[in-house]
Structures are given as structure tokens and as C-alpha cells.
Chain A
Amino acid sequence: MRAGAQLFGQHLPTGSWVHRLGIGTKYALVLLPSLASLVVRQWWLALALVALGAGLLLASRIPARWSLRLPWYFVVMAVLVSLYGFIAVSWQAGTTTLANIIGALLVSRVLTMTTPAADLVDALVGVARPLDRFVPQASERFGLAVALMLRSIPHLVDSFGQVRQAARARGLQRRVAGLLTPVVIMAVAHAQRSGEALTARGLGDPDDRIER
């Protein structure tokens, strides 16, 4: 799958009430219970986290075969990781670990599956806004950095693929450093060109709205 599609293809709009919740509410629903459960580490709270995540995902009316599906490698990891707790500590400890890992994944999905990526970015930039008082243009620069980062991911994944093919064509695919060097050099060059373009577009210049 293309990295770009992978990155932005998580949002599945159905128009349910979960989708329509304000982004602040959604973040509160995701962050507070997850952090609470991670800190308190009680088996019943961890199970409640799973129930909360699964409940909200079902209410989102996204088909459960997508919203509740757990990738096999994730399941293997979660089980193996909690096995030690079950065997060596107690069933409560094992349950806490297992339910925390699964619950945190499900609750996170409430955010990613019901919110467009652009709104996630906007929310992130909104959180940085109070910093403007201390550093001029802080949230603006932060927002540009987030946007440029997301835009550059598919570009870099592609350039990695191109370099890999070029190396294969020359019969050099064995050396990892030889593969990575051109990718990183391209990344620096891309950053320099992007930085110039940002400057040329006047982005990050002091605000001039008042002047007009």
C-alpha cells in the first residue's frame, strides 16, 4: 500500500454521533482513560478501557470487521508480552497488561477512524497556540512543520524505493549503508529546497495582516 494512502486512509466517515463529536471531546475520551489506565494499572480499569474503545467503535457504525480487527502480529505481540505477567506474577497483572495494550489501541482508533487527518493536524497546531506569546510565530511554524512532515513521508518512501531499484540494477543491493546514503542526501537536499520555498513564499514572515 502507498504510504500516502496508508497515512490518510484511516478515516472512515459514516456520519455517526461519534464522528460528529468535537475534536476536543474525542481527545479527552482517548487521552484521559488511556493515561489513567496506564498509570493506575488495575485489571478492572484496563478491561473498562477495552469496553470503552470497543463501545465507541461499535457506536461509530464503522463495520466491526475493520474497526475491531487486530492485526496478527499485534495479537502475537500482546499475548507474548502479557504471558510473563500471567505466569510469573498473577492473573490480574497479566490481564492488566493485555487489556491495556488492546484497549489503548482501540481507543486510539476512535480518534483516527472517525476524524479526518487534516482535523488532527489542526488540533495539534491549536494546542501549540499559547506558545505564540513566548516565541513569535511558534504555532505557525509548528503547523508548517507538521504539514511539511506529512507531505514528505510518501516522497521519502518513494525515494527509498527508487534507490533500492537503482542499487539492484547495479547489483549492489547487499550494502545497507550504500542504500541509505543517497536517501539521506536526497532528504537533506529536499529539506533545503523546501526551506527556500517556504522562505520565498513569505511563510513564517511576521504577520502583516494589520498593515493592510
Chain B
Amino acid sequence: MMDVALVAVFAALIAAFSLVPGINLVVVPITLQTLAVGLTAMVIGPWRAFAATSLYLLVGFAGLPVFANGAAGIGVLARGSAGYLLSFPLYALLVGLLAQAVVRRGWRQRWLRLFLAGLVGSFTLVHPMGIAGMMVNVNLPLAKAFTLDMTFWVGDLIKTAIAAGVAVAVHKAFPALLATRRVPGPVTA
């Protein structure tokens, strides 16, 4: 049940960060939402992060107002931001796998490697899917969608850097979270 609880609480974290006021940038609301998705991927590992982001999307699609600006329902799929939303589970899986490798191998320069892992996920999945979403939903040609997507790059770099920093601190506090095997500690559940 520990896995269920981690998945549920991190889905809640993404929702909470989506609801905390952020900045609106015309097409895609910039909130702490993507930061929370990055954190989830780097902190709880690939499969739990995949489950947490999927749970977040499912609950939102089902009609509970957990998306940015209190939006809810399948309606968000009509928006320019649909591609970004749908990329979350895949991003969480990929970045989670990379982050897990970084933590398990005990590599030095953890922050830098986590930061790079986050960027790999962003630029191979989030941005391409975001661009595709804008092309389909808003009729933008590739070049325009790409230009618009570029406006998020700086914010993305900053958010990934912050997420990596926070993740390093959290793994120091909970070394067992991504450990290779369960540490035979007192908690067996």
C-alpha cells in the first residue's frame, strides 16, 4: 500500500501545484504544474511517477477540477495545451528511469545529472507533443507552433533546475525511495 499512497499523494501534489497561482502566458498557463511533474518523476521512480501522472490526468478528465486555473473535464483536450498535458505520463516514465539510474549508481554530480535527465524528457517528449497539440488544436503550422513553444524554454530550464535541486534534497532525506532493493527496515508494508 506504500506504492498506492505515494502515487496518490504525488498526484495530489501535481494537482495542488496546478491550483497554486502561477503566471498565464497566453496559450499555455505556466504554473508550478510542470515543476511538480518533474519532481514526481525524479523523486518516486518511473512506474510510480507514470501512475501518479496518469491518475492526475484521469481524475481531471473525469471532471474534477485539478487542472491549471481550476479547469476540468475532457474539455481541456480542445485547448492549445492538450499535447503538453498528455505528455506527462511518458515524460514521467522516461525521466523516472533516468533519475533512478542516477540515484542507484550513486553517481557524483547528482544535481547536474538529474537536471540533464529532466531536459532529455522535456525536449524529446514534452515539447514535441506540445507542438503537435498546438498544430492540431489551434491550426498552427509547425514553424509557428515551434516558435510559440520556444517561449517556454527558459521557464523550462529554470523549472527543471529547481526540480533537480529539490529532488537531490528529498533523496537525502529519504534514501530508501529509489533504493535498489527494499532496505530491510522496520517498515514492511
Is A62 in contact with chain B by the CB < 8 A criterion?
Answer: no
Say which size band chain A's interface belongs to. Answer: 35 or more
A195 and B1 within 8 A (CB): yes
A130 at the interface (CB under 8 A from B): no
Partner of A153, one of B4, B12, B35, B144: B12
* Interface size in chain B (residues, C-beta < 8 A): 61
With a CB–CB cut-off of 8 A, which chain A residues contact B2? 191-192, 195-196, 199
Q: Contacts A81-B138, A150-B59 known; A73 to B43 CB distance under 8 Å? A: no
Tell me which residues across on chain B come within 8 A of A22, comparing CB atoms. none
Instruction: Please tell me if B86 contacts chain A, counting CB pairs below 8 Å.
Output: no
The main secondary structure of chain B at its interface with chain A is helix
Question: Is A104 an interface residue, CB under 8 A from the partner?
Answer: yes
Scan residues 120-159 of chain A and give those whose CB is less than 8 A from a CB of chain B.
120-121, 123-124, 141, 144-153, 155-157
Query: Does A180 sit at the interface, judged by CB under 8 A?
Result: yes
Known A-B contacts A117-B64, A180-B166, A194-B9; the reply to A112 vs B73 at CB < 8 A is yes
- The 8 closest A-B CB pairs, nearest first, are A108-B73, A104-B75, A195-B5, A152-B12, A199-B189, A191-B9, A195-B2, A148-B8
Chain A residues with CB under 8 Å of chain B are 3, 6-7, 10, 30-31, 34-35, 37-38, 71, 73-74, 76-77, 80-82, 84-85, 88-89, 93-94, 96-97, 100-101, 103-109, 111-112, 115, 117, 120-121, 123-124, 141, 144-153, 155-157, 160, 176-177, 180-181, 183-185, 187-188, 190-192, 194-196, 198-199, 203-204
